[in-house]
Amino acid sequence: MIVGNAKPIEEVLSMIEPFDKLIVAGCNGCVTVCRAGGEKEVQILASALRLAREAQGRPVEIREVTLERQCDPEYVELMRPYVGDYQAVVSIACGAGVQFLAEHFSKTPLLPGINTGFIGVTEKQGEWSERCQACGDCVLHLTGGICPVTRCSKSLFHGPCGGSVEGHCEIDKEVPCGWQLIIDRLKALGRLDLYEKLRPMKSWKTSRDGGPRRIVREDLI
């Protein structure tokens, strides 16, 4: 899922400073699962903003909505009938959701209420970690199912570097060395032979480096 994290409430308060009639919009997708932008978070953020603004003597009216997904036009369009009645929308969906709302409602300022973190997994309640950089050219079959681009701090294709110590990365003892993970997994699979192969320079064209990307499926159009 896409994992996000709430922006500090002070930052959201400063964004909404000019407005007194707002929508706080959540998303039932990824950000609900990672507890950053679902219905509950919409309620909490809206309530906190109301309290804060009322205490400042400048009450704010907030409509609370949570779309099924902010990244699909059908759901986004459900806001159209009323969005014009509000001065701004605070979206607590991922960056894609915020932008999609902005694209659809060109006259309404869109304010991001969360910071979008990464494509990742739930390690345990309250802890998520990154797994995929969306480089657009997956090599997981060569690396024991562990991504060198994401899990190695230097995205090395021939790791680990000299900074790998006791399974952790040189940047932080809390960060596992991606290449240690790869080697352990290849060993478990009996495929250490894959380690000793030279990998050509990666083409980053399929990554963000090639410019903003799109996927077009003619068969679905």
Partner 1 sequence: MLVPCTGRVEEILVLKAFESGADGVMVVGCMEGDCHYLVGNIQARRRVARVADILEKIGIGGQRVRMYNLSAGEGVNFAAFANEMTEHVRGLGPSPINVVRKGPKK
Partner 2 sequence: MKAGSNLEKVLAAGHFAVTAECGPPRGADPEPMRKKSVHVKDNVDACNVTDNQTSVVRMSSIAGCLHLQAAGVEPLMQMVTRDRNRIALQSDLLGASSLGIHNLLCLSGDHQAFGDDSQAKNVHDIDSIQLLQLAKMLRDDGKFPSGKEVKGPPKFFIGCAANPFADPYEIRVSRLALKVAAGADFIQTQCIYNLEKFERYMQDVRNRGLHEQTAILAGVTPLKSAGMAKFMKKNVAGMDIPDEVIKRIAAVPKEEQAQKGIDMAVEAILRLRQVEGVRGVHIMAIEWERKVPEIAKKSGLLPRPQV
Residues of this chain that interact with partner 1 (CB under 8 A) are: 8-10, 13, 40, 43-44, 47-48, 50-52, 54-57
| 171 touching partner 2, by CB under 8 A | yes
State yes or no: residue 161 binds partner 2 (CB under 8 A): yes
Residue 164 as a binder of partner 2 (CB under 8 A): the answer is yes
What would the two tokens of residue 215 be? 């996927």
By CB under 8 A, is residue 157 in contact with partner 2?
yes
DSSP secondary structure, 124-141, as one string: ETTEEEEEE---SS--TT
What one-character DSSP code corresponds to residue 199? -
Nearer to partner 2, 74 or 172 (CB): 172
CA 93 to chain centre: 9
Query: Using CA atoms, how far apart are residues 16 and 206, in angstroms rounded to an integer?
Result: 37
Quote the least distance from Cβ 130 to partner 2, whole Å. Answer: 14
Q: Which is nearer to partner 1, 50 or 154 (CB)?
A: 50
Name the one range near partner 2 by CB under 8 A: 4-12, 56-64, 124-132, 156-164.
156-164
Q: In the Cβ-directed half-sphere of 108, how many Cα atoms lie within 13 Å? A: 29
Taking the C-alpha atoms of residue 149 and residue 92, their distance in angstroms, rounded to an integer, is: 28
Binding site for partner 2 (CB under 8 A): 153-167, 169-172, 177, 180, 183-184, 192, 195-196, 198-202, 204
